[in-house]
A and B are shown apart, each in its own frame.
Chain A
Amino acid sequence: MPASSNRSTTTDAPARPSRVRRLHLPQKLRNLELFLLLIACGINAASVVLVQLGALGRIDTTLVLLGAGLSALVLAMHVVLRFVAREADPFILPIATLLNGLGIAMIYRIDLANEETGLASASVRQTMWSALAIGCAIAVLLIIRNHRVLFRYTYIAGFVGVALLLLPLVPGLGREVSGARVWIGIGSFATFQPGEIAKIALAVFFAGYLVRNRDSLSMVGKKFLWMRFPRLRDLGPILVVWALSMSVIIFQRDLGTALLYFGLFLVMLYLATGRLSWVLLGMSLFLGGAIVASQTLDYVNGRFMNWLDALNPDVYTADGGSYQLVQGLFGLAKGGLVGTGLGQGRPEITPVPQSDYIIASLGEELGLAGIFAILALYLLLVARGFRIGFAGNDDFGKLLGVGLSFVIALQCFIVIGGVTRVIPLTGLTTPFLAAGGSSLVANWIIVALLLRLSDTVRNQPRLVV
């Protein structure tokens, strides 16, 4: 780390009379956050009303009330921030709120199309899960007052992450949904995707592990061509993570999750060591594995076929073929530049329009303009996370902040890229938007951690962000 080596030596900020200073500071950041949050809640309420006007032609108060409850909860989180993280980034919470709300509006819109109402409907469940997720985020903010606590639990986090990841393989507990075995459930209800939570635990583990071990990973090794390659015995960690990813591909049949974890690990490894050779090594390992998998595993091969030749009638009609992908494209095409308007398209034609394909549903009704806005929101969210990395003082916090934001970026890329044929389609949830409780809980916890980290960064005396 040539550029910042002088900075990283001062991991522990000197004690300072924060209590005294804080009392005199007007909470500028929090006021900005409140302002943005009110706008976000306003947009969310408006989109639910527009959905109702578009699809029903009248306004129904149930979901509006539920949404108001959610807004209240988000505002409560804002109040919590005023007390426990007053210097936290003011953009993160409003962006997450807006994305979450747009997701609920779209899920609700699809419920209306399928004539599902009441507690069983996906939108009501999503609202409940959102409440739980925001509750979890508040709890994380209250419990973890200093992120460096997490550093102590590096290996426990690693163990928890791997255990969560492998949980769906436990007989009797694992559930298979549309081919992928990434769910757990007890009885016939309460299904949960533990892999979503695992990504946080693994990010904590990677950050802690890499901060501890990066010297041996980056300093020693043979020079070959222009790069320094690691020693054989230092290959252990990358091989373990690689093996873990491959086992996800083979046993859980989930290409997306494997790609997500491996990508996360590679980026954090690169950040920690600054060595491009690791990235090349990792990418060739993963690509090699993926190519072997595409040759030997039917479902992987099918995904590649669907990607390359989606409109081919044979691929389209095949079992597990490109029907869904093409229907999503039809929806996006229907949306065009400005969309059909909320409640006025036909997103329900595409299979699972509320989870994997929510971006196609949004693209149909909000158009290219809407998708650009949503992508801009994600990019902004990720950028705020990366700011922690740029401005942070301790390497653990920097790595964790960047890792958590990168996970969001990569997940967006894998899902939206899959829907729009940049890469083969793999099943992952679109962060905040897609229907799914585990994903919401995980992403809101990430929001809480990012808020916590950003607060710490701003509290460091010599930095002005």
Chain B
Amino acid sequence: MNRELKRVSLVVLLMFVALLTSTTIVQVFQADSLSADARNTRTLYDSYSIERGPILVGGEPIAQSMPAEDDYKFQRTYSNGPLYAPVTGFLPLNGAPTGLEHALNSELSGTSDAQFFDKMNALITGQSPKGASVEATIDPAAQQAAWDALGDLTGSVVVTEPATGRILAMVSKPSYDPNLLTVHDNQQVTDNYQALLNDESDPLIDRSINALNPPGSVFKLVVVTAALESGKFTPESTFPNPATYQLPGSSSIVINSGGGTCGGGDTVTIATALKQSCNIPLAELGLQLGDDAIRETAEKFGFNSGYSIPLDVSQSAYPTALDDAQTALSAFGQTDVRATAMQMAMVSATIANGGVLMAPNLVDAVTAPDLSPIQVFEPQTVERVMSAETAATLTQMMVNGVQDGAASNARIDGVNVAGKTGTAENAEDEPYTLWFTGFAPAEDPKYAITVLVEDGGGLGQTGYGNLLAAPIAKQVLEAVLNK
């Protein structure tokens, strides 16, 4: 029996060697990747126990860690929480962080590679480690103005600086108070989070970067850009001007928003169609361009790709494999075209910036506790989407649209505002999505603004972009331009 016993002993030994090996693999070789896993709440708890860096706006902290008398040592507090919720996000006690708290977690918590020596230093000197501070690009005045102007409507206002891509305002409504999710009581946090999650107005969704809506007429800017850049069309190119238009290969009828023809006459120019925001001429233009040309331009603007500001922006979509009817519909931003407010802000900012798209960016600098810079964000050019000439032409058309066209409610005395409204249909009986996107002053653009109003602004299918979205843009632009 002893020969067998020796063999069994060997098997037992091998079983234990397997256990020693597997624990070593988990605890040593996989330890780093497991700690970095977003689902690892232990890492999160650890990030509470150090003095996390503040998030600053205009030099004032909008998120900071205050000393607390409990196990976590620090309490994350958000001043003016709901206003800045889309920027800061939150660092919950028992879940994954969001917003800048998530995007720059390692910098804020002092665990980024750049802070390695600081961390070691703190370990040796016995000081408690501190995280870096993050300076956001947000202009508090613009943010407040956008917040006030949006009122009780559901939607978003995004203001950017066309020449740099810096995001000056990023408002989403309805909002929530991130402080509710950082109380040091697991059950309380879970309850608060569930309440927000179950809230039918979806306050947790950041409507500036994570809500996808049909862009409607604001997408015409993309189509006209494609047309002008193709070289086959000028603003004076003409199209037949019927009052109704049957989609090719379909029984569906397209009408202009007013119901009649686009201006008078048998034909209509692109310039007039854009200024009056007519659907039929754009459908005709879209068909002549083809969906590939429109898609190519849309993708230059950023459609069909995700990007990070460094918050992750949802991917706006211009669909593939469209038939003729869908192509015609897509030319005024319907069918399955979807855009975030941030995406439309990028379209306006590109036109404002002479055709060059700058990467949108929410962070100016990351600074170590000893005030040495860890990271400074410079303006980044993405690409030239259109020629300066096309940009100038589009600007003029958009100025006309505000002056005496479909975007007239954004008019400001003494300032040339360029703008485009949109009123997009959702499903058959659902309220419209209302848009305004534009910039000012037209001759030297300082601010590009996009207003998104969801849920028909409470008016179901009777509201329209110029009625609800344009005045909000006007109010914000007046505030930031000191008019």
Is B2 part of the contact surface with A, judged by Cβ < 8 Å? yes
Residues of A in contact with B (beta carbons under 8 Å apart): 1-4, 8, 267, 270-272, 274, 311, 316, 326, 329-337, 345-346, 349, 363, 367-368, 371-372, 375, 378-379, 382-383, 386, 389-390, 395, 398-399, 402, 406, 409-410, 412-413, 416-417, 420-422
Contact partners of A329 in chain B: CB under 8 A: 26, 30, 34
Residues of A within 8 A of B25 (CB): 420
How distant is the Cα of A3 from the Cα of B13 in the complex, in angstroms? 22
A3-B3, A363-B23 given; A333·B30 CB < 8 A: yes
Q: In the bound complex, do residue A267 and residue B8 qualify as a contact, i.e. CB atoms below 8 Å apart?
A: yes
**A8-B1, A390-B5 are known contacts; what are 18 more A-B pairs with Cβ within 8 Å?**
A4-B1, A4-B2, A270-B8, A329-B26, A330-B37, A332-B23, A332-B34, A335-B27, A346-B45, A368-B24, A371-B27, A386-B8, A399-B1, A402-B8, A413-B19, A420-B23, A420-B25, A422-B18
Whether B42 is near chain A, meaning CB under 8 Å from some CB there, is yes
Interface contact A333-B1, CB-CB below 8 Å: no
B27–A363 CB distance below 8 A = yes
Which of A333, A406, A410 has the most chain B CB within a 10 Å cutoff?
A333
14 CB contacts below 8 A, A to B, read A1-B4, A3-B1, A3-B2, A4-B2, A329-B26, A330-B41, A331-B42, A333-B26, A334-B42, A334-B43, A349-B42, A371-B27, A383-B9, A422-B19
* A-facing residues in B1-43 (Cβ within 8 Å): 1-5, 8-9, 11-13, 15-16, 18-20, 22-28, 30-32, 34-35, 37, 39-43
In the complex formed, the residue of A with least CB distance to B15 is: A413
Given contacts A311-B37, A316-B39, contact A386 B5 (CB under 8 A): yes
Question: How far apart are the CA atoms of A316 and B41 in the complex, in Å?
Answer: 14
Give me the 5 closest cross-chain CB pairs, A-B, nearest first: A333-B34, A420-B22, A333-B31, A368-B27, A413-B15
Give Cα A229–Cα B32 distance, bound, in whole angstroms: 50
Contact A330 B23 (CB under 8 A): no
Q: By the criterion CB–CB under 8 Å, are A274 and B34 in contact?
A: no
Most buried by A among B2, B3, B41: B2
CA distance A329 to B35 in the complex (A): 10
A326 and B31 form a contact (CB under 8 A) = no
Say whether A421 contacts B28, CB under 8 Å: no
| B164 to A: closest C-beta gap in Å | 36
Q: Is the CB of B5 within 8 A of A389?
A: yes
In the complex, the answer to whether A334 meets B4 with C-beta atoms within 8 Å is: no
Which of B4, B16, B41 is packed against the most chain A CB atoms within 10 Å? B4
Report how far A367 CA is from B11 CA in the complex, Å. Answer: 26
* A371 touching B23, Cβ below 8 Å: yes
Contact of A271 among B1, B27, B30 (CB under 8 A): B1
User: Once the chains bind, are B3 and A378 in contact (CB under 8 Å)?
Assistant: no
**A-B pairs with beta carbons under 8 A, tally:** 132
A398 touches B27 (CB 8 A): no
Cα distance A2–B1 in the bound complex, in angstroms: 8
Using CB atoms, name the residue of chain B closest to A334: B42
Cβ-defined partner of B1 (8 Å) among A316, A378, A389, A409: A389
Are B27 and A332 in contact, CB atoms less than 8 angstroms apart? yes
Cross-interface CB contact of B19 among A270, A272, A416, cutoff 8 Å:
A416
Q: How far is the CA of A437 from the CA of B476 in the complex (A)?
A: 69
Instruction: Name which of B8, B25, B42 has the most chain A CB atoms within 10 A of its CB.
Output: B42
Chain B residue, CB-CB nearest to A402: B5
Q: How far is the CA of A311 from the CA of B43 in the complex (A)?
A: 16
- Complex Cα–Cα for A349 and B5 (A): 42
The one of A334, A390, A399, A422 in contact with B2, judged by C-beta atoms closer than 8 angstroms, is: A390
Interface pair A386/B27, CB less than 8 Å apart? no
Given contacts A349-B41, A417-B18, are A332 and B1 in contact (CB under 8 A)? Answer: no
- Cβ–Cβ contact B5 & A417, under 8 A: no
Nearest Cβ on chain B to A20's Cβ, whole angstroms: 32
A332 touches B26 (CB 8 A): yes
In whole Å, how far is A421's beta carbon from the nearest beta carbon of chain B?
Answer: 6
B39-78 toward A: CB 8 Å interface, digit per residue (1/0)?
1111101000000000000000000000000000000000
Contact B41 A274 (CB under 8 A): no
Residues of B within 8 A of A363 (CB): 23, 27
| Alpha-carbon gap, A151 to B43, bound state (A) | 55
Contacts of A336 in B (CB 8 A): 27-28, 31
Measured in the bound complex, the distance between the Cα atoms of B28 and A3 in whole Å is 43
Given A375-B19, A416-B19, A421-B22, does the pair A368, B4 have CB atoms closer than 8 Å? no
A398 touches B28 (CB 8 A): no
Instruction: List B contacts of A274 (CB < 8 A).
Output: 1, 3-4
Q: Which residues of B contact A368 (CB under 8 A)?
A: 23-24, 27-28
A382/B12 in contact, CB under 8 A: yes
- When chains A and B are docked, how far (Å) is the Cα of A363 from the Cα of B26? 10
Q: What is the bound-complex CA distance between A383 and B13, given in angstroms?
A: 9
**A residues less than 8 Å from B26 (CB atoms):** 329, 332-333, 420-421
Q: Flag if A406 contacts B22 (CB, 8 Å).
A: no
* C-alpha gap A386/B35 in the complex (Å): 40
User: By the criterion CB–CB under 8 Å, are B8 and A406 in contact?
Assistant: yes
- Are A330 and B19 interface neighbours, CB within 8 A? no
Closest Cβ of chain A: how far from B19's Cβ, in Å?
Answer: 5
CB distance from B248 to the nearest CB of A (A): 42
Would A372 and B20 be within 8 Å (CB), given that A332-B27, A335-B27, A406-B8 are in contact?
A: yes
Q: How far is the CB of A5 from chain B (nearest CB, A)?
A: 9
Q: Output the nearest chain B residue to A5 by Cβ-Cβ distance.
A: B1
A378 touches B27 (CB 8 A): no
Q: Residues of B contacting A410 with CB < 8 Å?
A: 15
What A residues does B41 contact at CB under 8 A?
Answer: 330, 346, 349
Bound CA span A382–B8, Å: 11
Min CB distance, B25 to chain A, in Å?
Answer: 8
How close is A395's CB to chain B, nearest CB, in angstroms? Answer: 7
Nearest residue in A to B30 (C-beta to C-beta)? A333
> How many Å from the CB of B7 to the closest CB on chain A?
8
**Contact A386:B24 (CB < 8 A) given known A3-B1, A271-B1:** no
Which of B8, B18, B23, B35 touches A413 (beta carbons < 8 Å)?
B18
* Nearest-Cβ distance from residue B405 to partner chain A, whole angstroms: 48
Q: In the complex, what distance in Å separates the CA atom of A270 from the CA atom of B18?
A: 22
A422 to B23, CA, bound (A): 9
Chain A residues, Cβ within 8 Å of B12 = 379, 382, 386, 406, 409
Q: Given the complex, which residues of A lie within 8 Å of B19, measured CB to CB?
A: 375, 412-413, 416-417, 420, 422
Which one of A1, A346, A372 lies within 8 Å of B42 (CB-CB)?
A: A346
Q: Which residues of B contact A399 (CB under 8 A)?
A: 1
Query: Contact between B16 and A378 (Cβ–Cβ < 8 Å)?
Result: yes
For A311, the chain B residues whose CB sits under 8 A away are 37
Kindly list chain B residues whose C-beta atoms are within 8 Å of the C-beta of A375.
16, 19-20, 23
Residues of chain B lying within 8 A (CB to CB) of residue A389 = 1-2, 5
Q: Roughly how many angstroms separate A126 CA and B30 CA in the complex, as a whole number?
A: 33
**How far in angstroms is the closest Cβ of chain B from A130?**
25
Complex CA–CA separation, A454 to B463 (angstroms): 90
The answer to whether A379 and B34 touch across the interface, beta carbons within 8 angstroms, is no
